[in-house]
Chains A and B, each alone.
Chain A
């Protein structure tokens, strides 16, 4: 398995869930920009599941040397790379913030995804799982830079799914909704709309087994976003969302 964004708690929970369910991976490739945290995880899965892994440093804000990824091959790619950045109030006119959000969530990420997609295409098998966000379903005043990058990523995954369908590669888009993670710690999230990374991973694993296309981790989010998408723009623009 290839994991992009290995420090993500959902990614780690997904790896654990898959191993618990008896999935076999010769090696797990843990891509990360934080070696310390990822090393802890690598040891953890070695102790717990005798699972071999390899840590590969990947910083999407820097130039990427693709030749280092030559030997990497797998049938599953899990992409949990993401960066929330500052919300609109604090960060809209801060270009560094804007660029970082767009780079990590979309512009620098997509070439890496493409690099591996090509490998999947030539094997004519496998599953690519991409974590997008409900924030990408419609731009809202509170975090639309992040939302727009995720919207682009959602569109990318949708196109990739379409393109790879004939080539026997499955692409799954996951929209987790609120998740109780490092990224959201201390934010006032409605507990009824929030899942733990572990719960999310269980749901994603199930969807992966069923080869779903688009999954909202909590079904309620599908309904909420359906409503939000359908509010007429002349009303929507007046809302404080």
Chain B
């Protein structure tokens, strides 16, 4: 039997699916061989981008670059290979009193993926993107050379790679800073908002909170548009905790996590079930305002509690549509977007709203810019392309942009912020699609 590295590969949205060569190596020599022996290469971390960003002709998986290199426990600086997952970092850092400065809504992404997408969290307005805390990384370039990139050394490559979607090379390892925490818990407040006006007011009132995010029921119409729950939080201090939590504040109890065993049949998720879900989610919280303490897993990664939840969307898959609209016209834009979705009948099971703060102009390939960002999940069906087109039109009118790591069908003018990444070696399906659509 001769090895055959061609296989079916797809990312979190299960759309699109490709049949391409995918290899993983852990020695630099072999990675170099792979890069030199193939015309088009793209790196892939844990495939948690939703669409086609980490798919290509020859995929290099960082699965085997999974080792830690050093941990300066005094200053909270960690170095690891690019395939290490955020979950693995947290596993060792939290018990030592350190947390990630910036984390997306899932901890199952790789460090390489975090840099290549320059991910943001619920604290963008306060603490910026992942790259703010990256001090350096090693990058394998087109000719197989390994260069160290930092703000001082190869800084042009450093900034092009941040948010560069893997198009500048393969990140092999990285060094980044962690933040001090006293406990593994979050002091949280959840507040219900009746409509868009109220949720925007709440966001602006919450600017002094480190973490804020809102869950929107996007099937509401008329005066109820924007009905939502705002959640805001801070890392809890030790003295705030009581009982057992206070005794062992940095260690969480093991929890049971269910798995979605197979792709759900198509009828499970339809406009009605989405409506019911959103209704229940909103009604679950009966009081206007709830204050409590919760562990960091529940606060940051509620979706990770159900393994393979993406299978709920069935075999045809789903997309995530995430855009940002500048702050000044954000409210108006969001209203239009929510109206368009409600009228389309194409419900979104999950709709998350956030306020981005100022961006770092040096990180020019990063998605976030000051304004409101909304992320919506849509099941792939025959009506979806039309809806995406309508939404793109609105985003365009309002001068917004689309998040590349979630994109698989938007118009390329909305992703035009991506620059300095044209290489004939590192090529993704996404980049080809974007260039072809111009």
Q: Interface residues, chain A, CB within 8 Å of chain B? A: 36-37, 40-41, 43-44, 47-48, 87, 142, 182, 185-188
Contact = CB atoms under 8 A, between A and B. Distances in A.
Given A36-B27, A37-B26, A40-B26, A47 B1 contact: no
12 contacts: A40-B67, A41-B67, A43-B68, A43-B70, A47-B69, A47-B70, A47-B92, A87-B1, A186-B3, A187-B1, A188-B1, A188-B4
A43 B67 contact: yes
A43 B69 contact: yes
A142 B24 CA distance: 26
B175 to A, nearest CB: 12
Interface of B: 1, 3-5, 23-24, 26-27, 64, 67-71, 78, 80-81, 92
Contacts of A185: 3, 5, 23-24
B1 A44 contact: no
Contacts of A40: 26, 67, 69, 81
Given A37-B27, A142-B1, A187-B4, 20 more contacts: A36-B27, A40-B67, A40-B69, A40-B81, A41-B67, A43-B67, A44-B68, A44-B69, A47-B68, A47-B69, A47-B78, A48-B68, A48-B92, A87-B1, A182-B64, A185-B3, A185-B24, A186-B4, A186-B23, A188-B1
Contacts of B81: 40
A87 B3 CA distance: 12
Contacts of B68: 43-44, 47-48
* 6 tightest A-B CB contacts, nearest first: A186-B3, A47-B68, A44-B67, A186-B5, A47-B71, A40-B67
A48 B84 CA distance: 12
A181 to B, nearest CB: 10
Nearest to A43: B69
B21 to A, nearest CB: 9
A36 B69 CA distance: 13
B123 to A, nearest CB: 26
A186 B23 CA distance: 8
A134 B214 CA distance: 54
Contacts of A186: 3-5, 23
Nearest to B92: A48
Contacts of A43: 67-70
Contacts of A188: 1, 4
A34 to B, nearest CB: 8
A43 B5 CA distance: 30
Nearest to A87: B1
Contacts of B27: 36-37
B79 to A, nearest CB: 8
A33 to B, nearest CB: 13
Contacts of B80: 47
Nearest to A40: B67
Nearest to A90: B2
Contacts of B69: 40, 43-44, 47
Contacts of B78: 47
A3 to B, nearest CB: 16
A41 B24 CA distance: 17
B366 to A, nearest CB: 29
Contacts of A36: 27
Contacts of B71: 47
B61 to A, nearest CB: 10
A182 B30 CA distance: 13
A177 to B, nearest CB: 16
A142 B26 CA distance: 29
A187 B70 contact: no
Contacts of B92: 47-48
Contacts of A44: 67-69
Contacts of B24: 185
Nearest to B81: A40
Nearest to A142: B1
A187 B24 CA distance: 14
Nearest to B84: A44
Contact of B3 (A37, A41, A187): A187
A48 B5 CA distance: 32
B68 to A, nearest CB: 4
B213 to A, nearest CB: 31
A142 B1 CA distance: 9
A116 B76 CA distance: 41
A129 to B, nearest CB: 23
Contacts of A187: 1, 3-4
A125 to B, nearest CB: 31
A191 to B, nearest CB: 11
A26 B249 CA distance: 28
Contacts of B5: 185-186
A58 B57 CA distance: 39
A186 B1 CA distance: 10
A152 to B, nearest CB: 23
With a 10 A CB-CB cut-off, give which of B3, B24, B67, B71 has the most chain A CB atoms.
B67
Contacts of B67: 40-41, 43-44
A154 B104 CA distance: 48
